[in-house]
Structure 1
Amino acid sequence: MPPITLWFLQASRCIRTAWLLEELGLDYEVKFSPRENGIAPAAFKKEAGGLGKFPTLQDGDVTLYESGNIAEYLCDTYDKQHRLLPPLGDPKRYEVLQWVHAAEATWALHGIAILYVRWHQKDGDVKKTEEGLSKNVINDMNLLESTLEKSSGKFLLGDKVTVADTLMHFSAVFILARDLGVKGEDYPRCKKFIQDCEATESYKKAVERTGHSLG
């Protein structure tokens, strides 16, 4: 098996990839960096290549970016039993992938918009801007809450972890931990989902291996 290397920036979505690697039972090397002044160190970004974004995964001669893309690659390459992602042509595959892509393109996108307003808006009323942006986040979290309530198990699509959970978990944690537009809503089913994800042996191993902490 070719060596796998994960470039891991602290307090980031990189935990998604580490969790998936552990869930797949794959050996990998971690190249870890803390943040400096809240951002990735320039030298670490240069070492990872590309846009200098994280996670970055190298598997032999293949170097990949974007957590959803990495997740799909790892499942297609190493999940021969299709335990985490159904095979091509199976309608259930696209139900899973819908959550994989929505984790970043919808949930994280809407949350990060609010975070960037807090960090970067120079003029105007930050509170009013955040109020307007919060509508998207509330819609997202309400959908996640209702989907989990309807699930036949403790995870998104039943009682077993799929790649959908490894992606959506961080987005939910990120929004709730940073209080990004949720206006104090409780989301008990989402919180239970987070607890159940973090109680899996594979997630605990990923945290131990990488030193992940959202801070």
Structure 2
Amino acid sequence: MSTPDITLYTAQTPNGIKVSILLEELGLPYKTVAIDMSANTQKEPWFLAINPNGRIPAITDGARNVFESGAILQYLVDTYDTERRISYPHGTDEYWEVVQWLFFQNAGVGPMQGQANHFFRYAPEKIPYGIARYQAETRRLYSVLETRLAASKSGFLVGDRLTIADITTYGWVRSAGWAGVEIEDFPSLKRWEETLEKREAFRKGGDVPVPSKIKELIKDKARAEEEEKKARGWIVPEQK
């Protein structure tokens, strides 16, 4: 096994915490660099040399750069989970199931819920069609997860153990209310979320690089509106 020399470039987002949670689950040492997206740090030349797409998360491991959250998760388990504590041997049915659910989140849940977040929270004008469209698609994708987890004997998305399929999805489900999606409508998914939150690695990794405040914000309308306004101040100009 390679000797890890990992630096994580991240922020407190559903995508950002995926990597820190996995690093905690694997017990790997890592350094953290907090990226201030409100200051467009992710667009600075030094960071673009690590991730040319100018997004978080990204890692360096020695001389190697890895960007895109799904690719980072795959890289870390393929490189460091040699005992297969949270992964399956390459080529097995379970391995390919993990890959499918990883892509399901990265290509489905994340983009759709991200758009629901934008139109529901950040857009400079409320567009009812956009809000309804992306909230509905997020709920549809959640229903797929609900069906899967309702039939799971282990309580995890794949097989008999936690995998990156669970880790990649968790941060988005934790933030369901921020997109205006009611998690209570999905009891198996809610139970899965609550089970994962009991794991030390999820508690510790979920507060990287700063403690999460998403649950408190969802419950506090005044604080949520203040956070929306602050974030809108950099999200909208960035798109120009």
Q: TM-score, normalised by structure 1?
A: 0.85
1:110 is matched by which residue type in structure 2? M
RMSD: 2.2
Between the two proteins, what is the percent identity of the paired residues?
28
CA drift of 1:13 comes to 1.5
Question: By percentage of residues, which structure has more helix?
Answer: 2
After superposition, the Cα gap between the structure-2 partners of 1:86 and 1:183, relative to the gap in structure 1 and judged at 3 Å, is closer
* Partner residue in 1 for 2:69: 67
Residue aligned with 1:26, SS: coil
Amino acid aligned to 1:43: T
Match of 2:151 in 1: 150
Of 187-196 and 202-211, deviating more is 202-211
Question: 1:148-199 CA deviation, whole Å, 9 max, x = no partner?
Answer: 111112222355311111101112223x12134x368621221111111111
Do residues 77 (structure 1) and 56 (structure 2) align?
Answer: no
Secondary structure in 2 aligned to 1:178?
helix
How far apart are the structure 1 equivalents of 2:128 and 2:184? 17
With normalisation by structure 2, the TM-score equals: 0.77
Provide the aligned length of Structure 1 versus Structure 2: 207
The answer for the alignment partner of 1:133 in structure 2 is 134
Counterpart-to-counterpart distance in 2, 1:58 and 1:143: 34
Residue 105 of structure 1 deviates from its aligned partner by 0.6
Residue type of the alignment partner of 2:135: S
Unaligned ranges ≥5, structure 2:
215-240
SS of 1:74's partner is helix
Which residue number in structure 2 is paired with residue 196 of structure 1? 195
Q: Deviations over 1:52-77 (max 9, x none)?
A: 21111110111111110000000111
Judged with a 3 Å threshold, the aligned counterparts in structure 2 of structure 1 residues 93 and 177 are, in CA distance, closer, same or farther, namely same
1:94-173 equivalences under 5 Å are 94-118=96-120, 119-120=122-123, 126-158=127-159, 160-173=161-174
1:11 to 1, 10, 13: 13
Q: Choose the corresponding residue for 1:43, options 35, 41, 44.
A: 41
